[in-house]
Structure 1
């Protein structure tokens, strides 16, 4: 269950080039293929955890897997990008219901903290394997059978997970759940959904567009209402008292920052290699494979580390190593590309990400009572998914702004009239001339096509370079925040 929901977060990354070519779409819509999943996943995760605590974690998990499989079928058979995006959204709904249960059941199966830390190491290794194996496995499938095969594969794995859950997962629930917090569910989903959707839409429409501003206002109002409701209801889906615990607070900050950075590699680096450097899906998979191994090794090592020394130190070390890996990856992408050094740099990032995930998960699960383990699991996974969704949105805005502005400047230098530039930029982003475009006015500029294409590569790299730098800085800031919090609360267990 854990493997399939995390796998789908990154498996699509190596299929983006093929999807772009077959369905003739641009970078903005490609981001929605990724973000439709993470947007719904993040927006409804708190609701999934709360429902699991009340209705039974196994029951909600099973229902989520059924929905996930249905979404996989819709995505696999999609003939247009909007249908593909809809299928990804349905898959996100299923993942939001099933994912919190994979963590919360560990809280009950392993009540002793040290044993649970080692179990969380295995959990994080599986999640890390799924995240990092996504590009590797996806590359093999896309190379052999085409991009639709990754969704058929998801269906098969989801069906296997469904059978395994029915057979092996014990049922558990809060013995005294209290009334359902429907207001909190609606307001929480409204806040997260509106904020993330606004961040993503702003890339295309501009952040000063009335529709985007309206979405941010709706998100702010929903958040205010959510805080009011959650501090007054008897059984909230998010008890804000737990955020006062330094270990829980630090873990959630790190979760956001780490997954923000993870997707600067998983989405934009994969897209850059495939679209701008013409890497095949199989070659992209080879570059990502050492990162998969790094995440697994880091997670397993962190499980033993946390069980003996606590969560705070490995969480900080993981952030430092992850940021170093991002900066090394940025350095390797700056010059002539060599797969070995690039894969090694990404492996360093993978080790750091793996080390960081275990302690942040352990800190939240240990800080929240067992009867609220669904809430703890949901809020942890929500912060991770919000980090990834915001990461793709914010970094996508950076990459797209550099791509557009650099292309416009170069086209102006080459003498291409401003009226012709939008269609030319669209052609560079799509990798083909859009349907219905009259190419006659462009014929006299054909000798300069290669110059424009090379400018597109340089511009995309410019944006990716800044994106990796921003990601590394954010992760380092999270490490600094955790360190300062540790100094200020020396007597608080971590």
Structure 2
């Protein structure tokens, strides 16, 4: 019986890993497909930018709602629903005849990913309750995410070499179908079905969170094009701030009255939880900033093809995939917080070495990207583990959703701020990139110091439990 249960949990782990990989693969694959997509649909550069931006906006706005749906309907139902919605969006992308319908389909994809993703980590937390097993499971989960990020540019580039952009979306639809069938078969209803008791959905909180995050991501995305002092950007930032104030007020009020807030504010009493979200923000800021601007460097400055640029990132993304499972064992031995802080410091070192390599050969860039990959591999699962392990299990859905929200904001802000530094340099792209990577390295060092102080301040010791 124990052997059968162990085998069943492995299938659950596989289903959750595939669900996460779907989202990661989709986020990097689309960037490679944009030129072919634009030529096929006769799209302007602005429209192409919205193919990525609208996905990010919808995804960020719906993440907290996705976590709440898991609490309301059950993790299993929410996971399967998210996979179905994502797969339906992929199908619509595959057959979209024009840019308008494609953008709508991308929003459907993002909504599905936002519902699905918080459930993957929460299901693992409740499925693997023993600390050592949980740390290893989250390490494998994070490793597959890195594999999805690595596969996106390479598989997308290979598909575009033989067919067109529609095949890339068709592939995500097929992967979604496999994930749905596997999840439906393996995730047990008795542990992940509808929770006991009636839980109302926080409509006001959902609206406040959606407006806050959508407005913030829009302002960060548009700041460089429209100007950071433009009425549109400043007005959207003001809207985000007002919506955030309203959101916090509604959550505090619901908590005081014993109702079910979308984001229980009590999670912010945990200093390790704050440290985990700071780490998640920094991790995605550097990862997507490096991915975006070194894609430009490799293709526009060094003359690499799209496929060659995708392969150039393999030292970073494959190292991430290889390090993430090892991170699970390190967390068992040392705890999640020390591993996360080490990851921030290693990533900072890699960023500073990249800053010193503006005239290095391609091989010189690749091994430095590999060092960044080591740091990111240490960060990926340790951040997730620290976030969900520093709050009660009943709040794991909310903790997972908040952690993914901070990662998403980090990815958008990282690209925006790095863009300001790179393009604001009066000495050209190469010098601007050097200055940008220096700033990122310094920022990561500060984040490591703050995380250390938070963890020490919470428990009097650096070590926190690994699960």
Whether these two folds match at TM > 0.5 is yes
| Partner residue, 2:33 | 15
| Partner residue, 1:482 | 451
Q: 2-side partners of 1:31 and 1:337: how far apart?
A: 30
**Cα 1:177/1:133, change in 2 over 3 Å:** farther
Give CA deviations for 1:161-182 in whole Å, capped at 9, x if unaligned.
Answer: 1111111122314434632211
Q: CA RMSD in A?
A: 2.3
| Partner residue, 1:188 | 209
Q: 2-side partners of 1:270 and 1:287: how far apart?
A: 9
The Cα of 1:151 is off from its aligned counterpart by 1.5
1:181-220 equivalences under 5 Å are: 181-220=202-241
Q: 2-side partners of 1:487 and 1:55: how far apart?
A: 37
3-state secondary structure, aligned to 1:148:
helix
> Is the Cα–Cα contact under 8 Å of residues 113 and 366 in structure 1 kept in the other structure?
no
> Is the Cα–Cα contact under 8 Å of residues 311 and 363 in structure 1 kept in the other structure?
yes
Quick check: 1:335 aligned with 2:359? yes
**One of 94, 106, 109 as aligned partner of 1:76:** 94
**Cα 1:299/1:130, change in 2 over 3 Å:** same
Give CA deviations for 1:110-166 in whole Å, capped at 9, x if unaligned.
Answer: 112222111111111111111222222222222332333321211111121111111
The Cα of 1:75 is off from its aligned counterpart by 3.0
The Cα of 1:8 is off from its aligned counterpart by 1.3
Q: 2-side partners of 1:399 and 1:81: how far apart?
A: 30
3-state secondary structure, aligned to 1:231:
helix
**Cα 1:471/1:70, change in 2 over 3 Å:** farther
Quick check: 1:139 aligned with 2:108? no
Q: 2-side partners of 1:220 and 1:13: how far apart?
A: 30
The Cα of 1:243 is off from its aligned counterpart by 1.2
| Partner residue, 2:123 | 105
Q: 2-side partners of 1:253 and 1:26: how far apart?
A: 36
Give CA deviations for 1:226-266 in whole Å, capped at 9, x if unaligned.
Answer: 11111121211111211121111100000001101100122
Q: 2-side partners of 1:78 and 1:140: how far apart?
A: 22
| Partner residue, 1:232 | 253
**Cα 1:341/1:312, change in 2 over 3 Å:** same
**Cα 1:269/1:28, change in 2 over 3 Å:** farther
3-state secondary structure, aligned to 1:98:
helix
Q: 2-side partners of 1:475 and 1:25: how far apart?
A: 38
Q: 1-side partners of 2:61 and 2:152: how far apart?
A: 22
| Partner residue, 1:373 | 396
Quick check: 1:151 aligned with 2:151? no
TM-score normalised to structure 1 length:
0.82
> Looking at CA atoms only, which structure, 1 or 2, has the larger radius of gyration?
1
| Partner residue, 1:277 | 302
The Cα of 1:21 is off from its aligned counterpart by 5.8
> Is the Cα–Cα contact under 8 Å of residues 251 and 265 in structure 2 kept in the other structure?
yes
TM-score normalised to structure 2 length:
0.87
Task: State how many pairs are aligned.
Answer: 438
**One of 309, 334, 339 as aligned partner of 2:334:** 309
3-state secondary structure, aligned to 1:121:
helix
| Partner residue, 2:4 | none
Q: 2-side partners of 1:143 and 1:297: how far apart?
A: 28
**Cα 1:49/1:395, change in 2 over 3 Å:** same
Structure 1 gap segments, 5+ residues each: 407-457
Q: 1-side partners of 2:270 and 2:67: how far apart?
A: 20
| Partner residue, 2:196 | 175
Q: 2-side partners of 1:32 and 1:326: how far apart?
A: 29
3-state secondary structure, aligned to 2:165:
coil
| Partner residue, 1:50 | 68
Q: 2-side partners of 1:70 and 1:102: how far apart?
A: 19
**One of 146, 160, 164 as aligned partner of 2:178:** 160
> Is the Cα–Cα contact under 8 Å of residues 272 and 458 in structure 2 kept in the other structure?
no
Q: 1-side partners of 2:423 and 2:135: how far apart?
A: 41
Q: 2-side partners of 1:385 and 1:159: how far apart?
A: 25
| Partner residue, 1:40 | 58
The Cα of 1:28 is off from its aligned counterpart by 5.9
Q: 1-side partners of 2:100 and 2:417: how far apart?
A: 22
**Cα 1:31/1:331, change in 2 over 3 Å:** farther
| Partner residue, 1:420 | none
